Structure formats: C-alpha cells, structure tokens
Amino acid sequence: MSATPPVATAAHHYPTRVTPFRALLTAALALAVVLGVSGPAYAVTPAQKLAVLQSFTQNSAVSYNDWNAARQNQAAWAEYGFDWSTDLCSSSPDKPLGFDFTLSCHRHDFGYRNHKAVGAFTDASKNRIDSAFYADLKRKCATYAAAVRPACDSLAWTYYQAVSRFGSLASVDSADVEAAAALI
C-alpha cells in the first residue's frame, strides 16, 4: 500500500454570485485604502491625558527627555490636545548671564498650562512641576564649566524660588542676577 495522497481528478467550478452589497463594500474599502482613510480615530480619555501629562512633569531626566522628544514631534501627540505654547521664562531673562534656561522654562509652562487645562492644577501638581523645573535647571547648570557653575546654580535657585513662591518668573529681580554674576 502506498502512502501517497490521492490525486484529484476533476475540479468543480461554480459561478460566484456578487451581491450589490458585497460590491459596494469592496469598493468602499478599496477607496479607503487608496485615500489612506482608517477607521474611527482613537480618542484619548481624560485619565490617559493626565497620566501622560504627569509622566512628562516628573523630576527625572527620563521625564524631561520624554517630554522634549514629544515637543520635537508634536504631531504624534496631537490626539492629546496638549498646549505646547510658551513665553519661556516670562519677563525674566531666558539666558541669564548666558546660561540657557529656555527649555527648562518651556517645560515648566507646559506643566502649568496643561494641568490647568485639565482641571488638575493642585498644590501637589504645582509643587511637582516646580520641583521638576528646579531639577531641569540644575541638570542644565551641570553642563557648564566648574568655574561658572556656582553662578548658574545660584540663578537656578533664584528662578525656582520665584515660581515656587509666586508662581511666576516675573518676580526674578535684576539684583539676583547681579549677585549671581559676582560668583563668576
């Protein structure tokens, strides 16, 4: 006895009936593929938005880097409806004595504006955002030469105190900047 499979001797062909509904559905799907249209957009829930917002406003360098990557690719985060606007360091210098605080101020604005927009700007979130701001400033200061780092650290502390006490960098006094300059 052979172990070979049986050979088909004849194929039967039956006519395929195309219904109008099937034809319409096929045409609609083909058009959607050609036009690049997908199904319904994924809607971000308020809880998901808040979770991402909180992850973008932590003290860690990872949180900062994640936020900055999102900032550089805002289109990918469009469904979250984040407010990316900023006035940088408000009426205080963005680069006091040449120390570049712009991105730290931008992330701080992002935290305040978006927490307020979702109704989650509490004392706890304000403190976390302000602490993250200070951590960002200190990390920035760590990139400068040791000889000028005390001046940068002094300004970082001044900027942090302004936002933590008054909620704005507008309260940074020019005398504070001059005092930091004396450390150089």
Flag whether pLDDT at 47 surpasses 60: yes
For residue 63, give its domain range.
46-181
In a domain, 154, yes or no: yes
| Number of folded domains that form the chain | 1
Which pLDDT band holds residue 92 (cuts at 50, 70, 90)? confident
In a domain, 88, yes or no: yes
In a domain, 169, yes or no: yes
* Mean pLDDT, range 87-102, rounded to an integer: 91
Q: Which two tokens stand for residue 36?
A: 């690049």
Catalytic residue among 108, 115, 137, 153: 108
Nearest residue to 134 via CA among 114, 154, 149, 148: 154
In a domain, 50, yes or no: yes
* Catalytic residue status for 100: no
Catalytic residue among 53, 88, 137, 169: 88
Catalytic residue among 53, 106, 115, 130: 130
Catalytic residue among 29, 31, 87, 173: 87
* Catalytic residue status for 176: no
In a domain, 158, yes or no: yes
Q: Which two tokens stand for residue 55?
A: 């992850």
* Mean pLDDT, range 117-133, rounded to an integer: 94
pLDDT at position 163: 86
* Catalytic residue status for 94: no
* Catalytic residue status for 153: no
* Catalytic residue status for 137: no
In a domain, 125, yes or no: yes
pLDDT at position 91: 81
In a domain, 161, yes or no: yes
pTM, rounded to two decimals: 0.69
Can you give the CATH number for the domain in which 85 is found?
1.20.90.10
pLDDT at position 19: 54
Q: What does 43-110 look like in DSSP terms, one character per residue?
A: PPPHHHHHHHHHHTTSSSHHHHHHHHHHHHTGGGGGGGT------TTTTS-SSGGG---HHHHHHHHH
